[in-house]
Amino acid sequence: MTTLRIVQLYPDLLGITGDRGNVDVLATRARLAGHDVVVESVGLGDPSPAEADVIVIGNGPLSAVRAVRDDLAARSAWLSAKRSGGASLFAVGGGAELLTEGIDLLDGTSVDGLGMLAARVTRTRTRKVGYVVAETVDGRLVGFEDHASEWSVPDAAARYGRVAAGVGGIAGGFETVAVDGVWATNVQGPALPLNPQLADAILLRALGDAYATTGAHEAIDVHARAARAEIERLAASKHFTAIKL
């Protein structure tokens, strides 16, 4: 039996869009596959755990992004080492933006990112709010987006999903970056309860052949499928709302 170690960074500051729900899904699916799970929360100034198989960074406002930026940068070598060792990194919204080369703000200033992703974020005056559906190699990614930003991702191979409904966070009609064990998304709500196929991809990276779904997974996935079908229906029938700031 394998023990999966999940580390959630800054849950008190970056956790405004149900990000603990993403942790719970990963933990539940790993347990259903027969693994022990340890979940550890790490805050500002806390030591980085020696062991980490999945690292989750949640969403938060610009004030929170600024508050954690230097602390996260100090963990850059740790994050890179864990990633190189096979760990998965799942980041949402503001937390995901910090993994890029930087965030350009409306006032002309910027927040330096860690440069783990070959991408750059520009904050915009248009807030994208509504359901989003994107086609990915792992199946349809569905959920809710609520952000005032646009990502520039030059490497087409890193653009995980092509938007089928909604707008998406990446210029050109794409959503979510996925490259070398890192998934960075603007799908909120949280994302993983609605997208078990993405949770499985994250766990498969972390656990390898030791991870396999079972009938117990199928028993809970029927609920996700029902919710996904309703979101896809609403996304196709309702116009996307963009709020001008």
Known binding-site residue numbers:
127
Residue 176, phi-psi category: left (phi > 0), alpha (psi -120 to 50), beta (remainder): left
Phi, psi angle pair for 188, to nearest 5°:
-120, -175
- φ and ψ of 17, to 5 deg: -120, 45
CA 127 to chain centre: 19
Residue 245 to residues 114, 123, 125, 126: CA-CA distances in angstroms? 28, 11, 5, 6
Q: Which residue stretches of 75-172 are H helix?
A: 76-84, 93-97
The pair of structure tokens assigned to 136 is 């990915």
Backbone phi, psi, residue 164, to 5°: -105, -25
**In sequence order, which residues have a C-beta less than 8 Å from that of residue 109 and are 6 or more positions away?**
none
CA distance 66 to 22: 23
Output the known binding site for substrate: 127
